[in-house]
Structure 1
């Protein structure tokens, strides 16, 4: 594949089309999406590719990505993928733009303050331990699903004071998965008119969105019925006021909670699934993890004070976030914008890939090797903008510290009780809404310390 350079200031065009869309396997070939995004990095800091009939600009340079997300953030909207994620709710924080985004972020920020998150650790532990204890030693697990149920349970208990039984929790989980799959497909479709057709996929997406809002409506109704019993994000939203002093509309409250539920569980669950997959392939790393958690936590209940004493556990989480970061994030130029030496017309669709960025050999030594010790302070670290699993700037994921803490807690709690052995079979990385394992079955075996 060779880049064809255009006139000065115009990004080059990568010929041959963009194999993410079109027909046949291109729309569902998740592993091909990842391979393509990695290959595009060889063609320069900014390149232009085809997504169906559209030209899309891929930003590869870590410096330019950093500018786009920080100093020049106001020159870009969130773009195509986030537009499709409005299936969760058109006004929710993850998809909101401009002043509405700023107001909603300020409203919800206290719930994600570091001190507040420290207080969530006990809730995280009490939520996760029953899931882990329910595993049947020697029986195969669909590990991604188990991790999704755990992280969804943590979000619901810590932020919504809710704890649904396993069957309703699975219904919520399946609905979230359906909406995410629909959003990524719609973002890659050549024409948006297909979204309005009464296809089976569109009907399933609509039903999934309705099921999510119904589940969340029950939580909101419970909070309204017993307002003095709760102090969480739902309470915060129910007592919030807009610029006119009016309460937030019910539809906005539902949208916000649904979006938090989806975004708050997806990335962390997939990260944990990949982490234990890597440990299953690296017995020495697993031994070091078990040794650390046994010496720090063994025989006691895990608390927030233990987390600073688990540096190797933290590096395992960080390395997993590097190697299996989200593969596609979008932006759109609001007006004509100059990014580096390139001039982009108003309306230009842009994408960037943390997955490809984090695997660039110019930024990381031996980038495809899972090496948690690369994050030791004495080792060379990536440049600014070279490690951004949660984005950067004012639109950086509001729950990044929550996710870091949750992933560390769950990793430690699983490691205290179980050794996870992989079942035979290839595990491929797929470009879905995040970077998913194709399938991941593991067998938990009780640890004898």
Structure 2
């Protein structure tokens, strides 16, 4: 640490209850609880049930935790529960096997493949937008879910899954994510073993999702064809020693990609539509940019670098409402963080939502201001201050894929439609899975070719 930098502070969160710690606050008002913690220190001790955990509230500490995956490995309450859904995938596996997994999975997101994917993305985006009608009230949350589910299905499985199967996958993921947060914040881990209706729904959804994925993998193996999609790449991928992924490993990666491709990208788009609907002056500038870049045609892969305001709008939506709003790591050995000795096995919590709304890092942090991402608006945030996709060697491998899809979808919507929020309808974040509202009702107005409502 530099000599002129203020010393990092440590503290303890108040309000812990005997035996359950801060599990009640995390379950009932997690965003407010997390946002309150920087007042108590840069490293704050909380209780996760009967166990002690530490929340890192300063970007320097976030960067430290994320860049040292050997000492602060994937694990802790959130990751342990997420592993029940995603298995031992690139998103959840330990430090040791991660390099091999990334070597096998990363080629599916190589930049030269994004151009091919972008054509598939535009086809599915257009198919959904073609169902919209002038003056209609849409549930933008459901519409964005539909877009991202269709994109995930066609890029991962060129052999068509069919609308019924896609809907079934979406339902399974929704049930699993709802159960995930409840399990993470349960004061007693044994509660998830009880045959309650919620636990039975969780188990049934996981069984059905596994069956769908295994059926697809088996069908691809039988055909022996390379469809040029993600599943074909996973089946043919080889590591540096010539090894390949087992069916179980492929299942874990497919479920992980489904979860990231459907849920997180939809969350980004839902919040972005909400924000531009609340700020018509920004929406008008977005529409003008799309019109200038595309001149009425569909935005393509080569247009992405020119859609600068579009990119800033998405970056700001990700700052305010990061889909992965909470995550955990675990100390694999005794370590020192902010002058505090962290015992081996201790959970470390970090929250992009918390860190990206610190007023000392982002002035007026609650305000939607895409211009804060302009190069001439001051220095870039310090390392660890903007981490919607994580960081270090474990940064999300599909971040560019997701941003490509979100940019094309936002450009298509802005090019054709103006969004009007319904008066008196409150939009609140839900924290059961990726950070998102359950519904987002918007009245849509078709734009004329000259850029005005018809």
User: Does TM, scored on the shorter chain, surpass 0.5?
Assistant: yes
Match of 1:5 in 2: none
Q: CA separation in 1, counterparts of 2:23 and 2:241?
A: 51
The counterpart of 2:363, out of the listed 362, 365, 375, is: 365
Q: CA separation in 1, counterparts of 2:200 and 2:343?
A: 36
Instruction: Output aligned runs, 1:226-265, within 5 Å.
Output: 226-240=223-237, 247-265=244-262
Compute the TM-score of the two structures, normalised by the length of structure 1: 0.91
Match of 2:74 in 1: 78
Q: CA separation in 2, counterparts of 1:417 and 1:165?
A: 27
Match of 1:3 in 2: none
Tell me how large the CA RMSD over aligned residues is: 2.4
Moved more, 166-175 or 274-283: 166-175
Q: CA separation in 2, counterparts of 1:287 and 1:114?
A: 31
On the 8 A contact 1:153/1:163 being kept in 2, the answer is: no
Structure 1 316/10 Cα, relative in aligned 2: closer, same or farther at 3 Å?
closer
Match of 1:69 in 2: 66
Q: CA separation in 1, counterparts of 2:25 and 2:442?
A: 30
What displacement does 1:344 show?
0.3
Match of 1:49 in 2: 46
What displacement does 1:24 show?
11
Match of 1:332 in 2: 330
On the 8 A contact 1:182/1:205 being kept in 2, the answer is: yes
Q: CA separation in 1, counterparts of 2:160 and 2:233?
A: 19
The counterpart of 2:344, out of the listed 343, 346, 349, is: 346
Match of 1:290 in 2: 287
Match of 2:37 in 1: 40
Q: CA separation in 1, counterparts of 2:431 and 2:412?
A: 29
Q: 1:220 aligned to 2:222?
A: no
Q: CA separation in 2, counterparts of 1:283 and 1:404?
A: 23
Structure 1 337/26 Cα, relative in aligned 2: closer, same or farther at 3 Å?
closer
Q: CA separation in 1, counterparts of 2:410 and 2:32?
A: 29
What displacement does 1:41 show?
1.2
What displacement does 1:184 show?
1.6
SS of structure 1 residue aligned to 2:46: strand
Moved more, 164-173 or 308-317: 164-173
Match of 1:140 in 2: 137
Q: CA separation in 2, counterparts of 1:54 and 1:110?
A: 39
Instruction: Output aligned runs, 1:179-194, within 5 Å.
Output: 179-194=176-191
Instruction: Output aligned runs, 1:367-446, within 5 Å.
Output: 367-380=365-378, 381-424=380-423, 425-446=425-446
Compute the TM-score of the two structures, normalised by the length of structure 2: 0.90
- Paired residue total: 438
Instruction: Output aligned runs, 1:36-185, within 5 Å.
Output: 36-70=33-67, 72-79=68-75, 80-185=77-182
Any gaps of 5 or more consecutive residues in structure 2? 1-7
Q: CA separation in 2, counterparts of 1:23 and 1:50?
A: 5
Q: CA separation in 2, counterparts of 1:366 and 1:389?
A: 19
Q: 1:199 aligned to 2:196?
A: yes
SS of structure 2 residue aligned to 1:387: coil
Deviations 1:83-131 (A, max 9, x none): 1112224222211112322211111111112232233211111121101
Deviations 1:163-192 (A, max 9, x none): 444343222111111111211211111111
Match of 1:321 in 2: 318
Any gaps of 5 or more consecutive residues in structure 1? 1-8
Structure 1 77/420 Cα, relative in aligned 2: closer, same or farther at 3 Å?
same
What displacement does 1:250 show?
1.9
On the 8 A contact 2:142/2:439 being kept in 1, the answer is: no
Instruction: Output aligned runs, 1:262-277, within 5 Å.
Output: 262-277=259-274
Q: CA separation in 1, counterparts of 2:51 and 2:12?
A: 12
